[in-house]
Structure 1
Amino acid sequence: MLSVKVIVARTAGKVALETIELDERKLPDTHILVKTRYSAISAGTECAWISGNSNNPGQKFPFYPGYSAVGEVVQIGKDVKNFAVGDSVIVPRGGHRSYTMTPVTPVWTGAYKLSDSRINLKDAALTHIASFPMLGVRKLKIQLGESVMIAGLGILGQIALQAAKYSGAAPLLGCDFSPERRELALKLGADAVFDPQEPDFIEKIRAATNGKGVSAVVEVTGKAVALKQALGYTAKMGRISLLGCTRVPDCPIDFYRDVHLPGITLIGAHTSNRPANESRPGEWSEHDDYDAILKFLASGRFDFASLIHKTPSPADCTQVYDTLLNAPNPPMGIVFDWSLLEAN
């Protein structure tokens, strides 16, 4: 039996590291057993579920957060053909835990082999999370030279910004309350950044786009008020992809005036709606996006290292999540380093 460390919220807002027993002899034939090296926090989604947000479908406790990790294969099921002990793999939906049994079939939902040695494993832990902004950008079908706004410059927004840059966005704009995040966006390729709190915010965006407004927006914040604001600076016949999860409908929107008359297209970009296997223009499968992300990391086009601000031990998870849930300006990218448990 393996003693497995796992992060769990047994009640709303209360996160702890616990130990469970895992019988590795019962590894399913189509699964692999992975020893986790790093697991990345998806702060918006995880905090929404940990806090017990009433708009989450099927919300219940205990809740096991985490769905983007990387680790090493330590055991394979008897029907597994394309993985071997010692392989480094991306593990989606495995939780924050020291060992994970994860499927390799169906191929498009399971573990993904990491074969390029140029990729830092800590950066690779963000791969599954990064597939969300990849979809949000792809759904806009950006044309070379189109103006694009990334609304919200947290970790998803910074990845969306980099993806939009390589999709040909010009000018590439970003907005966020945080001056530090705006500064990082400029470093990662934004042409200009804005503070949504400024009284002339929309006028500045229109000035940056020759008075037209932006052609395409990736709405990352998941805030209804930010979506309403985006409708005010989007050009006629523009598109907005809804990457952030707008769970709380706390801001009324005049759909006739703000959507219907200007011909704006709102595009749902939740990852559950991507193709299972066969990619198509504007919508790639999960594993095809993994492949693209890893190519961009290996070539140096994507910078994930600048997005990771803390690498704590999982033993510190209670404090980490308390900060994410309650601090006014929490760290952006947090990746648990599971080797630190062994060091203690």
Structure 2
Amino acid sequence: MTQTPALPETMRVSVLNGVQNLTIEDRPLPVVQPDEVLVKVAAVGVCGSDVHYYRHGKIGDFVVDGPLVLGHELSGKIVAVGADVDAARIGERVAVEPQRPCKNCRECRAGRYNLCPNMEFYATPPIDGAFAGYVTIQADFAHAIPDNLSDEAAALLEPLSVAITTMRKAGIEPGSSILIAGAGPIGIICIQAAKAFGASEIIVSDLVAERRERALSYGATRVIDPVAEDVAALGLDVNAFVDASGSPRAVDAGIRAVRPAGTVVLVGLGNPEMTLPVEQIQNLEITVTGIFRYTNTWPAAIHMVSSGVVDLDSLVTGKFDLDHVAEALNSDQNPDSLKSIVYPGK
């Protein structure tokens, strides 16, 4: 291993020991494997999945059954490299793609490494995440970033990657129309991604007036209050519908708003089962799909942000150190909150 001089022997880590039970620990720095780099963590975004593990101890089949370090939206600086990695990378500022696929299974060989059955993903039990001073990642998943990207924006390339995957699945291209349900963090980032992909009509539905106003400020061309108006009856006739709400009612209405041969992409974490309008889907030949993370999105995400097409810095509404991770995880209870950032080194 090649490293910068005088790395510490230990690092501070925020550890989830049970539901709403966080402690700070001192741990040894992770061991760097030959194909890995050691990253000093600069900024970590708080994701809804982190909040779910914190409050409920599980997401579907993923159950926290031992101590777990949360956090998977991150940026930092390479401070050491494994034996197989060019030492010239030491000192690079990077955005981390927080996953380690096996690269040998059927899904990996087909280019769908996000669906690798042997995936090790940050902050998904039992793999520790990034609310820590240092992390390791395979070198090709540490993406070099330009100087005009802040640490915060680099960390938020992860949720932008979700939005890029969504737009690719939805088939958004110049002139497309899209309906997005939910104007939370992912919904707002999806608005920007849809605009970057060339959508000319971006309609957003949300229950909260302040969120609808925020959607307009980020590029929505129209907003809808789904309580005051029946989304399914408005004749929207969009190319694609994206659900970023997880609401069964929103999903049903969105499917009914899609034109023949249109596409529906389910992004929001909602009920594990819901009733869909199958006759509508079948008769109009609507494609209904989901997304699970991402593949090969960081280069596009870096370009979108560095070129100014997408603004991630303005999404940051809260900043916390490692001693206040609980407050960061609970910040979503503030209706004005979009994205909170944790700084493990501060």
What is the CA distance between 1:320 and its match in structure 2? Answer: 2.5
User: How many angstroms apart in 1 are the aligned matches of 2:304 and 2:171?
Assistant: 19
- Cα distance change, pair 83–311 in 1 and its aligned pair in 2 (3 A): farther
Code of the aligned partner of 1:74: V
Partner of 2:322: 314
What is the CA distance between 1:134 and its match in structure 2? Answer: 0.6
What is the CA distance between 1:55 and its match in structure 2? Answer: 5.4
Structure 2 SS opposite 1:164: helix
User: How many angstroms apart in 1 are the aligned matches of 2:24 and 2:306?
Assistant: 35
User: How many angstroms apart in 2 are the aligned matches of 1:55 and 1:41?
Assistant: 16
Question: Are the aligned partners of 1:171 and 1:191 in contact in 2 as well (CA < 8 Å)?
Answer: yes
User: How many angstroms apart in 1 are the aligned matches of 2:38 and 2:200?
Assistant: 45
Partner of 2:181: 151
Number of positions where the alignment pairs a residue of Structure 1 with one of Structure 2? 308
Equivalent residues in 2 for 1:170-319, closer than 5 Å: 170-204=200-234, 206=235, 209=236, 213-249=237-273, 251-255=274-278, 257-271=279-293, 285-286=295-296, 289-319=297-327
Equivalent residues in 2 for 1:2-21, closer than 5 Å: 2-12=9-19, 14-21=20-27
Q: Which of 116, 129, 132 is the matching residue for 1:97?
A: 132
What is the CA distance between 1:299 and its match in structure 2? Answer: 1.3
Code of the aligned partner of 1:252: T
Code of the aligned partner of 2:51: C
Partner of 2:142: 111
Question: Are the aligned partners of 2:241 and 2:255 in contact in 1 as well (CA < 8 Å)?
Answer: no
Question: Are the aligned partners of 2:281 and 2:287 in contact in 1 as well (CA < 8 Å)?
Answer: yes
Code of the aligned partner of 1:225: R
User: How many angstroms apart in 2 are the aligned matches of 1:332 and 1:192?
Assistant: 20
Code of the aligned partner of 1:63: L
Is 290-299 or 238-247 further displaced after alignment? 238-247
- Cα distance change, pair 169–127 in 1 and its aligned pair in 2 (3 A): same
Q: Percent same amino acid at aligned positions?
A: 23
1:37 aligns with 2:42: yes
Question: Are the aligned partners of 2:328 and 2:341 in contact in 1 as well (CA < 8 Å)?
Answer: no
- Cα distance change, pair 244–162 in 1 and its aligned pair in 2 (3 A): same
Code of the aligned partner of 1:51: R
User: How many angstroms apart in 2 are the aligned matches of 1:41 and 1:313?
Assistant: 12
Partner of 1:48: 52
User: How many angstroms apart in 2 are the aligned matches of 1:83 and 1:157?
Assistant: 38
Question: Are the aligned partners of 1:224 and 1:248 in contact in 2 as well (CA < 8 Å)?
Answer: no
Question: Are the aligned partners of 1:17 and 1:314 in contact in 2 as well (CA < 8 Å)?
Answer: no
5+ unaligned residues in a row in structure 2: which ranges? 1-7, 99-121, 123-128
* RMSD of aligned residue pairs (Cα, Å): 2.2
User: How many angstroms apart in 1 are the aligned matches of 2:29 and 2:265?
Assistant: 43
TM-score of the superposed pair, with normalisation by structure 1 = 0.82
TM-score of the superposed pair, with normalisation by structure 2 = 0.81
What is the CA distance between 1:53 and its match in structure 2? Answer: 6.3
Structure 2 SS opposite 1:228: helix
What whole-Å deviation, never above 9, does each CA across 1:268-319 have from its counterpart, x for those lacking one? Answer: 2212xx5xxxxxxxxxx33xx2111111111111111221111122211122
Structure 2 SS opposite 1:177: coil
Partner of 1:281: none
What is the CA distance between 1:237 and its match in structure 2? Answer: 2.4
Code of the aligned partner of 1:329: P
Question: Are the aligned partners of 1:31 and 1:76 in contact in 2 as well (CA < 8 Å)?
Answer: yes
User: How many angstroms apart in 1 are the aligned matches of 2:138 and 2:196?
Assistant: 32
User: How many angstroms apart in 2 are the aligned matches of 1:42 and 1:131?
Assistant: 13
Question: Are the aligned partners of 1:216 and 1:239 in contact in 2 as well (CA < 8 Å)?
Answer: yes
Structure 2 SS opposite 1:75: strand
1:57 aligns with 2:61: yes
Structure 2 SS opposite 1:318: helix
